[in-house]
A = this chain, B = another copy of it.
């Protein structure tokens, strides 16, 4: 396991270095996917290609689920699966040149084993798993206090908030404040570090796989918006929180 952890961290650091360099060279080519707000760049694609190459060299038998280039569907989750998002928060990457991250989650027979979330520009690398604990760079992360919803900040997806999906507005009202960062990985890092009590969004597996392993390892809860297990297959309304905030959010969601 330690070898795999070191390898994954090395790939992601290398990918981060390349991303930083490509930001400086300003050779970004942006194109759209499903709509004008669904962006992908040549750098997302290069980064995913690089990570896939490393994974295949390291473990030729592993499956790979990733956001770009036709890797976004699997038959099943048996065996070892690497779930990767080469750049989570591509919109921020393009427009802000920060507030994005690289993510890799390692699943074994459908169970999250390891998670890696790298906030490239701030050099905050969160990684770990249930059996080894969670680390920020080299430092062990303590489990955050189990705050209630009204004691902390809540990350919410803009359109779910606007449309009041699953009572998202009431969740936001109950919280001390609503935050929207445009990057699922950063929201989940913030939960792991205790600066968010929860997060509600519409996510694909690569958006929550890595961060989800980390927050669960720290005693937090996540599920789809109805409290059912995430399918790790296609987009779902996602909900996560400290144990207490999560229960309140689920209660509000069920009242919707």
| B179 pairs with A172, CB closer than 8 A | no
In the complex, how many angstroms separate the beta carbon of A176 from the nearest chain B beta carbon?
6
Closest 8 CB pairs of A and B: A158-B178, A96-B195, A180-B180, A177-B182, A179-B180, A91-B177, A162-B169, A95-B153
Contact residues, A185-215 vs B (CB, 8 A):
190, 195
Most chain B CB inside 10 Å of its own CB: which residue of A36, A150, A161, A180: A180
In the complex where A95-B152, A153-B91, A195-B96 touch, is A37 in contact with B176 (Cβ < 8 A)? yes
The answer to the question of A41 belonging to the interface, with a C-beta cut-off of 8 Å to chain B, is no
Number of chain A interface residues as a range: 20 to 34
Minimum CB distance partner of A96 in chain B:
B195
A–B Cβ pairs within 8 angstroms, 14 of them: A36-B150, A36-B176, A37-B176, A91-B153, A95-B153, A95-B176, A95-B177, A95-B195, A98-B195, A153-B182, A158-B177, A161-B162, A177-B182, A179-B180
Shortest distance from the beta carbon of A6 to any chain B beta carbon, whole Å: 29
Is B176 in contact with A91, judged by CB distance below 8 angstroms?
A: yes
A165 within 8 A of B: no
Q: Which residue among A91, A150, A177 has the maximum number of chain B CB atoms within 10 Å of its CB?
A: A177
Question: Assuming A96-B190, A180-B180, what are 19 further A-B pairs, CB within 8 angstroms?
Answer: A36-B150, A36-B176, A37-B176, A91-B153, A91-B176, A91-B177, A92-B153, A95-B152, A95-B153, A95-B176, A95-B177, A97-B195, A98-B195, A158-B161, A158-B177, A158-B178, A162-B169, A179-B181, A181-B181
